[in-house]
Amino acid sequence: MGKPSIKELEYTAALCRRKVLRMIEAGHAGHMGGAMSCIDIVAALYFYVMRIDPRNPKMPGRDRFILSAGHKCMAQYAVLCQRGFFDEAVLDSYGSLNSKIPGHPDMYKLPGVEANTGALGHGLSIGLGMALGLRMDGEGARTFVVMGDGELAEGSNWEAAAAAAQFKADNLVVFVDCNGLQISGKTVDIMNMNPVERFAAFGWAVKEIDGNSMSQITAAVDAVPFAPGKPSLIAAHTLKARGICFAEGIAKYHYWKPSAEELNKAIAELDKKIEEVQP
């Protein structure tokens, strides 16, 4: 597959957002806000950046993706499905017992998931370990981690951040989905971890982007590692619930149990978007 254009990536992300609503329709509820804020990043990673093969999910030498903030999993499911890792019908099992796409990602249930996440604060350590292992393999593979901004309050992240700099893990690329919100309110009010300053202080190379802009996401990943011998941190400023206008930037849409009316309104908006951005 050749590299897709920005327009093609925007279309892909629109189709993925629509798949999130399909899962919510099936399961009647889900962590919508954080899935919608990071989905452009996840789509760009799977369609533009990572060396992976949907027909061979365990391909040796593949790049690794870890969704550290596992509650955003509908973003990963939508993108894995769009990329051809599994059949669309599986989306309709969201919320059912024994589904391959449970409320947090499970590597033993769904091909393409590299680690079980959901307890916040573990994905960076897992991703660092994978990056160091891949470096030993010598095939040039990289590890990409997506974290939440609220998640940064977990102390374990900072042990991993220090170790990544110490071990010069420049094949580790981390996006913090800086949507400014967590479950109950603003991240700056609850626990302001200021990722830009702090990761830099820990010895990382840091860039800030608009994390809902495909051109900025792709430009950032084209430039990694930002400094040789340093892990890369991308502070991606995003909007929680991006794409569903009545929910954007509002904390209560972290977990959403929509009424039929709300769901239909959201579906109509995303269907219109798909038509608008179709290349």
Ligand X SMILES: Cc1ncc(C[n+]2csc(CCOP(=O)(O)OP(=O)(O)O)c2C)c(N)n1
According to CB under 6 A, which residues from 53 to 92 bind ligand X?
Answer: 69, 71-72
Q: Which is nearer to ligand X, 111 or 249 (CB)?
A: 249
CA distance 174 to 233: 5
CB of 77 to ligand X, least distance (A): 15
Strand ranges in the chain using DSSP code E only, listed in sequence order:
64-67, 143-148, 172-178, 205-210, 232-237
Cβ 182 to Mg ion, closest distance in Å? Answer: 5
Helix (H) or strand (E) holding 26, with range, is helix 6-27
Which residue blocks in 28-111 are alpha helix, DSSP H?
A: 32-44, 73-82
Six-digit token string for 148 = 């939440």
The entry of ligand X, Mg ion, none near residue 100 (CB within 5 to 8 angstroms by kind) is: none
Q: How far is the CB of 20 from ligand X (least distance, A)?
A: 13
Quote the distance between the C-alpha of residue 150 and its chain's center. 14
- Is 106 a binding residue for ligand X by CB under 6 A? The answer is no
Q: Mask: binding to Mg ion, 173-192, rule CB under 5 A, as x and -?
A: ------x--x----------
Angle at 89 between CA 61 and CA 40, to 5 degrees: 55
Whole-number minimum distance, CB 164 to ligand X, in Å? 19
6, 183, 263, 277: residue in contact with ligand X (rule CB under 6 A): 183
Indicate whether 123 belongs to the interface with ligand X (CB under 6 A): no
The contact pattern for ligand X, residues 19-58, with x = CB under 6 A and - = no contact, is: --------------xx------------------------
135 part of the interface to ligand X, by CB under 6 A: no
In the numeric block, which tokens belong to residue 37? 């804020």
Pairing of strands 232-237, 205-210: parallel
Q: Is 179 in the site for ligand X (CB under 6 A)?
A: yes
Q: How far is the CB of 211 from Mg ion (least distance, A)?
A: 11
Element (H, E) at 196: helix 195-201
Task: Name the one residue in this structure whose structure tokens are 């951005």.
Answer: 277
Pair 67, 146: CB distance under 8 Å:
yes
- Give me the residues that bind ligand X (CB under 6 A), please: 33-34, 69, 71-72, 118-121, 148-151, 177, 179, 181-183, 187, 240, 254
